């Protein structure tokens, strides 16, 4: 397979070889879209956005070169490191916006929960590979325990959005590993009934004197605001009201690039980060939103394809879980911005401004590419 003889062209091709063309196309489309949107939403951040993209692509490339087995061999150390860092955050972390999320290592501030987004599915994939062919019910309990430790640590930071994402990433692995439908279906039903009853009895539950025990006050506020944004139109409901106005006023084809009044009159909060989808929908309309959905669908289908054709059990689980994580990011973000899900602080994948999230997501792409490449490697 390795036939390059100091040929520059071959060198470049060899350099690019691990990169999956479909995923590269999707990535280019999304990052290009993001760049166009940033020019409208927050032009002063364009330069640092380029820097983030450079770092993220480099990380992606490195992972794409590695073999899936090498990645899986790092699962346990990464997972343990993540847990240790999360404990450290709890003990020495910096408080920002009322939550402890950052750890200052002197050279850089890091957010250990971000590391966990990669380490968690890796760890569980590794775990189920160990139990492959002899998976029993007790293994699912153990996997659940492995999942709960970091999720619990992130919940107490408190960071509801991230803990939900990480919990989801673990659950996806468990799902793909074959947790019985008999268990899954009642779980889903219970979830649906629970959410349904919250919606139905929202008014009673959202009285200020009602204490929700499990969720913190700000989380309760978010859910209550979602149920009835007019409850607090100037405070917490403001985001949702303004973003739905932005989306709705965009119409079929949008108000045109740089012409979104909601965006440019500063009515949209956090318009370059979590609410960038509202900028898109306002300026490019339903057409622009559907284009984005189509690109995401392409990304997800490619991910599922890679998962279905992955050579090993672990690689399958990993690829399936990562694909579902991309979906979760996209769905939760667009759902919250358009007002059908609570505001939980999840970025729009590959579009929202922010280096950490972009690096994490591109590392996920890198893993998918690595798995895709290993298929060929193993066949030779």
Partner 1 sequence: MTEFRAPAAELARFRLRVVVAAVFVLVCFGLLAARFHHLQVKRHDYFLTRAEDNRIALLPVVPHRGTIVDRRGVVLARNYATYTIEITPSQVRNLDATLDELAGLLPLDARDRRRFRKLYEESRNFESVPLRSRLTDEEVARVVSQRYRLPGVDVKARLLRDYPQGSTASHVIGYIGRVTERDVERIEEAGNAANYRGTLHMGKAGLEQSYEHELHGTTGFEQVEVNAGGRAVRALSHTAATPGNDLELTLDIELQKVAEKAFGDRRGALVAIEPSTGGVLALASMPTYDPNLFVDGISTQDWKALNDSPDHPMLHRAIYSTYPPGSTFKPFMALAGLETGKRTAKQAMYDVGYFQFGGHRFMDDKIGGHGMVDLHKSIVVSCNTYYYQLANDLGIEGIAGFMAPFGFGERTGIDLPGEATGVLPSPEWKRNRFKKPEQQRWFAGETISVGIGQGYNAYTPLQLANALAALVNQGKLFRPHVVKYVVDSRTGERRAVEPEPLRQIPLRDAHLKAVLDAMVDVNRTGTGKRAFKGAPYTVGGKTGTAQVFSLRGQRYVEGRVRERLRDHSWFVAYAPAENPRIALAVLVENGGFGAQSAAPIARQVIDYYLLDQRAGAPAAEDEEGAESEEGAESGGDALPASRIVEPALPLEAPPAPVPSRPATPPAAVPAPQPAAARSAR
Separation between Cα atoms, residue 226 and residue 240, nearest integer Å: 8
Binding mask 17-56 for partner 1 (x = CB under 8 A): ----------------------------------------
Of 42, 73, 219, 249, the one binding partner 1 by CB under 8 A: 249
Q: Which is nearer to partner 1, 87 or 286 (CB)?
A: 286
CB of 258 to partner 1, least distance (A): 16
- Strand runs (DSSP E) across the chain, as ranges? 94-96, 99-104, 109-110
Contact segment (CB under 8 A) with partner 1 among 41-49, 80-88, 157-165, 247-255 equals 247-255
- Residue 266, CB-side half-sphere exposure with 13 Å CA sphere: 0
DSSP tag of 99? E
Q: Which is nearer to partner 1, 102 or 172 (CB)?
A: 172
Q: Which is nearer to partner 1, 149 or 298 (CB)?
A: 298
Q: Is 297 in the site for partner 1 (CB under 8 A)?
A: yes
Separation between Cα atoms, residue 226 and residue 160, nearest integer Å: 15
Q: Is 178 in the site for partner 1 (CB under 8 A)?
A: yes
Of 32, 98, 251, 256, the one binding partner 1 by CB under 8 A: 251
Q: Which is nearer to partner 1, 92 or 181 (CB)?
A: 181
Contact segment (CB under 8 A) with partner 1 among 93-101, 221-229, 336-344, 350-358 equals 336-344
CB of 240 to partner 1, least distance (A): 12
DSSP tag of 1? -
Contact segment (CB under 8 A) with partner 1 among 35-43, 113-121, 160-168, 316-324 equals 316-324
Q: Cα 304 vs. chain centroid, distance in angstroms? A: 16
Residue 336's closest CA among 288, 273, 285?
273
Separation between Cα atoms, residue 265 and residue 235, nearest integer Å: 18
Assigned token pair, 193:
């009934």
Q: Is 269 in the site for partner 1 (CB under 8 A)?
A: no
Q: Which is nearer to partner 1, 200 or 377 (CB)?
A: 377
In degrees and rounded to multiples of 5, residue 100 shows phi and psi of -90, 110
DSSP tag of 3? -
Of 175, 216, 231, 257, the one binding partner 1 by CB under 8 A: 175
Separation between Cα atoms, residue 327 and residue 365, nearest integer Å: 13
Q: Which is nearer to partner 1, 121 or 250 (CB)?
A: 250
Q: Is 233 in the site for partner 1 (CB under 8 A)?
A: yes
Would you tell me how many other CB atoms lie within 10 Å of the CB of residue 215? 15
Helix (H) or strand (E) holding 128: helix 112-130
Separation between Cα atoms, residue 44 and residue 271, nearest integer Å: 13
Which ranges constitute the DSSP H helices of 158-275? Answer: 160-177, 181-200, 202-205, 217-227, 237-250, 261-264
Size of the site for partner 1 (CB under 8 A): 51
What are 103's strand-pairing partners? 110
Task: Reduce the DSSP state of residue 378 to 3 states and report it.
Answer: helix
CB of 286 to partner 1, least distance (A): 4
Separation between Cα atoms, residue 217 and residue 120, nearest integer Å: 28
Q: Which is nearer to partner 1, 150 or 288 (CB)?
A: 288
Q: Is 227 in the site for partner 1 (CB under 8 A)?
A: no
Q: Which residue ranges make up the site for partner 1 (CB under 8 A)?
A: 129, 132-133, 172, 175-176, 178, 233-234, 244-252, 261-262, 265, 267, 281, 285-286, 289-290, 293, 296-297, 300-301, 304, 307-308, 311-314, 316, 320, 323-324, 327, 331, 334-335, 338-340, 378
């Amino acid at each position: 397979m390795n036939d390059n003889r100091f040929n520059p062209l071959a060198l470049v091709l060899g350099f690019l070889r691990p990169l999956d063309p479909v995923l590269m196309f999707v990535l280019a489309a999304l990052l290009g879209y993001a760049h166009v949107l940033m020019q409208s939403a927050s032009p002063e951040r364009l330069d640092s956005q380029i820097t983030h993209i450079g770092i993220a692509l480099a990380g992606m490339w490195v992972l794409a070169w590695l073999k899936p087995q090498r990645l899986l061999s790092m699962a346990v150390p990464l997972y343990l490191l993540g847990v240790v860092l999360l404990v450290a955050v709890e003990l020495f972390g910096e408080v920002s916006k009322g939550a402890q999320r950052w750890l200052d290592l002197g050279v850089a501030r890091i957010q250990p929960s971000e590391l966990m987004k990669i380490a968690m599915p890796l760890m569980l994939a590794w775990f189920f590979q160990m139990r492959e062919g002899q998976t029993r019910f007790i293994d699912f309990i153990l996997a659940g325990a492995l999942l709960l430790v970091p999720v619990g640590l992130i919940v107490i930071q408190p960071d509801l959005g991230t803990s939900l994402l990480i919990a989801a990433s673990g659950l996806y692995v468990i799902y793909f590993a074959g947790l019985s439908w008999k268990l899954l279906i009642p779980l889903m039903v219970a979830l649906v009934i629970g959410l349904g009853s919250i919606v139905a009895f929202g008014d009673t539950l959202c009285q200020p004197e009602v204490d929700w025990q499990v969720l913190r006050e700000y989380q309760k506020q978010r859910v209550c605001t979602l149920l009835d944004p007019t409850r607090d139109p100037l405070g917490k409901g403001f985001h949702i009201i303004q973003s739905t106005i932005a989306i709705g006023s965009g119409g079929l084809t949008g108000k045109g690039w740089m012409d979104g009044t909601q965006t440019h009159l500063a009515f949209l909060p956090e318009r370059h980060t979590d609410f960038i989808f509202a900028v898109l929908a306002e300026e490019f309309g339903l057409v622009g939103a559907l284009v984005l959905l189509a690109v995401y669908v392409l990304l997800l289908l490619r991910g599922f394809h890679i998962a279905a054709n992955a050579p090993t059990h672990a690689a399958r689980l990993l690829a399936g879980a990562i694909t579902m994580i991309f979906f979760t990011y996209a769905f939760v973000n667009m759902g919250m911005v358009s007002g059908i899900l609570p505001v939980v602080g999840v970025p729009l994948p590959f579009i929202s401004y922010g280096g950490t999230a972009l690096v994490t997501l591109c590392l996920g792409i890198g893993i998918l590419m690595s798995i895709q490449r290993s298929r060929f490697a193993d066949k030779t």
